[in-house]
Structures are given as C-alpha cells and as structure tokens.
Amino acid sequence: GIQVEQSPPDLILQEGANSTLRCNFSDSVNNLQWFHQNPWGQLINLFYIPSGTKQNGRLSATTVATERYSLLYISSSQTTDSGVYFCAVVKANFGNEKLTFGTGTRLTIIP
C-alpha cells in the first residue's frame, strides 16, 4: 500500500513563531487532506489539496504531486494551534476512497 510519512513527529514552538510541517507519500494520489485533531479526538478539515497551493488565514498548504510531498505552513502560531496534525492521502486508483494517514506531527505552542 501507499506509505505516508510526516515530519517532524514533534514540534515545540513559542507563541508567534512560524512552522512548516511536511508530508511525503510514496505513490500517485487522487486526494490529499490535512487535518487538525482536537483534544476530544475530532478531525478538523484544514485543506483538501491534491495539488497546488491554498491559503486560509494564518494557514497555507502546498502539494507538489509530481514530487510526492505536501507542506503545511502555520504563521504567527497561537496556543490554540496546539494539537496533532495529520496528512492523509487517497492512492490514485479508480473507486478507491480509502484515506491512508501519516503518523502525525504533535505541535505544542508555548505562551
């Protein structure tokens, strides 16, 4: 199956700092999503970005599908940004909607 690797596994930053989270995947994909998991376990959609660049406020994401990686940028971090960030992909295959998740990046923002 497709492999998804996220780095770094853990990141501790001061409030106000910027961060870059990386997601590498091993095969062509139809879908790539970034999620933030809140303390209660719910996965919050950040970006649906199989290719290209998107921005939403302080967050932006870029996927370079030909080179099989995606980056999530968080600027001017706030304590509410703390949590686990997951990248998930759907391997390019007709009729397949299975999301394969990376192991996540645990982000801790210190006031």
Partner 1 sequence: KAGVTQTPRYLIKTRGQQVTLSCSPISGHRSVSWYQQTPGQGLQFLFEYFSETQRNKGNFPGRFSGRQFSNSRSEMNVSTLELGDSALYLCASSLQFRTEQYFGPGTRLTVT
Identity of the residue, 59 or 99, whose beta carbon is nearer to partner 1 in the bound complex: 99
Residue choice 62, 69, 100, 106 for contact with partner 1 (CB under 8 A): 100
Q: Is 25 in the site for partner 1 (CB under 8 A)?
A: no
Q: Is 34 in the site for partner 1 (CB under 8 A)?
A: no
Collapsing DSSP to helix, strand or coil, 50 comes out as: coil
Q: According to CB under 8 A, which residues from 68 to 87 bind partner 1?
A: 86
Q: Is 56 in the site for partner 1 (CB under 8 A)?
A: no
Classify the C-alpha dihedral 37-46-74-5 as positive or negative.
positive
Tell whether omega for the bond before 50 is within 30 degrees of 0, i.e. cis: no
Residue 43 amino acid letter: L
Q: Which two tokens stand for residue 65?
A: 């599908």
Closest alpha carbon to 109 in 71, 80, 70: 80
> In the bound complex, what is the minimum distance in angstroms from residue 103's beta carbon to partner 1?
6
Residue choice 14, 39, 45, 56 for contact with partner 1 (CB under 8 A): 45
Place of tokens 């596994």: 9
In the complex, the residues that contact partner 1 under the rule CB under 8 A are 30-31, 33, 35, 40-43, 45, 48, 86, 88, 90, 95-101, 103-104
